């Protein structure tokens, strides 16, 4: 089951119009960090860290992000692997 904060980030912040709200995908992650309660940010951070620490494959991360999370942003279209995208999100949440 997808943790609620990860699903919220994917479906709400990366909906089909996310690129109208944000100049870059990382701005959406920054917005999430700045507008949600610290507990939600911590839960999201832990969910991402758990997926990365478990050695989740790029294919599995794509399924989590795009299918389970219903995100409309696919970092692979920009030449970024799913693993690198999840690492970048984690780094942004850690700031």
Share of the chain above pLDDT 90, in %: 95
Q: Count structural domains, the chain.
A: 1
Confidence of residue 2 (pLDDT cuts 50, 70, 90): confident
Claim: this prediction has a pTM higher than 0.95: no
Nearest-angstrom CA–CA distance, 21 and 2? 24
H helical segments located in 1-95: 4-8, 18-21, 25-35, 38-53, 58-62, 82-94
Q: What domain range is 30 assigned to?
A: 4-94
pLDDT of 1 above 80: no
What is the predicted pLDDT for the residue at 85?
A: 98
């Amino acid at each position: 089951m997808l943790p609620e904060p990860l699903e919220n980030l994917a479906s709400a912040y990366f909906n089909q119009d996310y690129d109208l709200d944000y100049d870059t995908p990382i701005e959406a992650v920054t917005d999430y960090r700045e507008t949600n309660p610290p507990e939600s940010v911590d839960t999201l951070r832990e969910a991402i860290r758990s997926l990365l620490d478990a050695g989740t494959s790029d294919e599995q991360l794509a399924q989590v992000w795009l299918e389970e999370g219903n995100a409309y942003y696919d970092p692979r279209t920009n030449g970024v692997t799913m693993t690198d995208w999840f690492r970048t999100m984690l780094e942004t949440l850690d700031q």
